[in-house]
Amino acid sequence: MAEEDSVLMAKIFYYGHHKYFGRFEVAVTDGLTKYNNDPILKFYKALALLLQGRVPESMHAFQQLKDKVDVNLGSILALIYGYKKSKNNNREELQDLDRKLKEERKQAGERSLLYAGTLLFLIEKYDKAKEYLDRALKLNELNKQSLALKGWLELESGKDPHGKKAFKYFDEIIRMSDGAGEVNAFLGLIRCFMARCSFNKALEIANQLIVGRSDFLPALEEKMKIQLALKDWDQSVETAYLALDIDQFNIEALTILTLYHLCCLGDYNESSGYLERLLDSLNKTEQSSYSIYHKRASLFCRICGRNELILQHTHTLAQCSVEEGNCNAEYMREVAYQFLLSGKVKEAMENYKETIKLDETHLPAVTGIIECQLLMDKIEDASHQLEFLNEIQMSIGHTAELYYLSAVLGKKKQNKEDNTIVLLNEAVNKHFSTFKTLYLSYEYFIKLNPDFLIQITNDYLDYGPQQPSQYGQPLDPILKKCLQILDPVTKMLPGLFKGVYLLAKVKYLCGDFEAAQATLQHCLDQDQSLSSAHILMAQIHLHLNNFKLASQSLEFGLSHNFQVRDHPIYHLISARIQKKQGELADASETLKFAMNLPGMKASDKMNNKEKNQISVNDKVSVFLELADTHKLLGEQHEAAKVMQDAINEFQGTPEEVRITIANVDLALARGDIEMALGTLRNVGSEQQYFIQAREKMADIYLNYRKNKTLYANCYRELAERKPSVHTSLLLGDAYMSIQEPDKAIDIYEEALKMNPKDTTLAHKIGKALVKTHQYGKAVTYYEAAIRSGNQSQFCIDLAELQFRLKQYDKSEKILKHVLEEDILYSDLDTMIVHANCMALLARLYQQIHCNEAAMLYFSKAKDLQIKIYQRIQTEQPDAVASQRQTITKICCELAKHTFVMQESDRAMSFYNEALTFNDGDVEAMLELAKVYLMSGDLDSCQSQCLSLLKKDKDNVAATMMLSNVYFYKNSFEEAIKHYKQLLEKKPDNYEVLAKLIDAMKCNGQLDEVPKFLESIKEALTCAKMEAGYYFCHGLYNRLISSSTIALKSFNMARKDTTWSNSALYNMVEICLNPDSETIGGEVFESVDNSDGYDQQRTNNERVALRTAEKLLKEVKPQEDNTQLQIMKNMVLVSTKNKANVEKALMNFMEIVSTYVSYVVTLLGYLLLYSQMR
Determine the pLDDT at residue 324. Answer: 63
> Any idea what DSSP says for residue 88?
S
Q: Is 605 left (phi over 0), alpha (psi -120 to 50) or beta?
A: beta
Do residues 1028 and 988 lie in contact, with contact meaning Cβ atoms separated by under 8 Å? Answer: yes
What are the strands, taking DSSP E only, across 586-713? none
Distance CA 766, CA 706 (A): 29
DSSP string, 710-727: HHHHHHHHHHHHS-SHHH
Distance CA 644, CA 1 (A): 91
One-letter amino acid of 996: L
Do residues 655 and 691 lie in contact, with contact meaning Cβ atoms separated by under 8 Å? Answer: no
743-754: per-residue pLDDT in tens? 888 887 787 777
Q: Three-state SS across 327-359?
A: CCHHHHHHHHHHHHHCCCHHHHHHHHHHHHHHC
Distance CA 315, CA 298 (A): 9
Cα separation values, 519 from 559, 665, 876, Å: 21, 33, 8
Q: Is 69 left (phi over 0), alpha (psi -120 to 50) or beta?
A: beta
Largest Cα span, the chain: 138
Q: Three-state SS across 967-993?
A: HHCCCHHHHHHHHHHHHHHCCCCHHHH
One-letter amino acid of 989: N
Taking residue 950's Cβ as centre, other Cβ atoms within 10 Å add up to 9
Distance CA 1066, CA 1054 (A): 10
185-236: per-residue pLDDT in tens? 999 999 999 999 999 999 999 999 998 788 899 999 999 999 999 999 999 9
Dihedral sign, Cα of residue 609, residue 613, residue 616, residue 622: negative
Distance CA 261, CA 493 (A): 10
Do residues 754 and 728 lie in contact, with contact meaning Cβ atoms separated by under 8 Å? Answer: yes
Which candidate, 493, 549, 548, 483, places its Cα nearest to that of 515?
Answer: 483
Determine the pLDDT at residue 207. Answer: 94
- Give the chain's mean pLDDT: 85
Residue ranges of the alpha helices (H) in 398-441? 400-412, 417-433
Determine the pLDDT at residue 1025. Answer: 63
Q: CA gyration radius for the chain?
A: 40
Positions in the chain whose pLDDT score sits under 70:
87-89, 178-181, 324-326, 470-473, 601-614, 654, 688, 757-761, 787-791, 821-826, 878, 1019-1025, 1074-1099, 1119-1120, 1152-1173
**Rounded (5°) CA angle 146-151-157:** 120
Number of residues that this document lists for the chain: 1173
Dihedral sign, Cα of residue 928, residue 932, residue 933, residue 939: negative
Determine the pLDDT at residue 602. Answer: 60
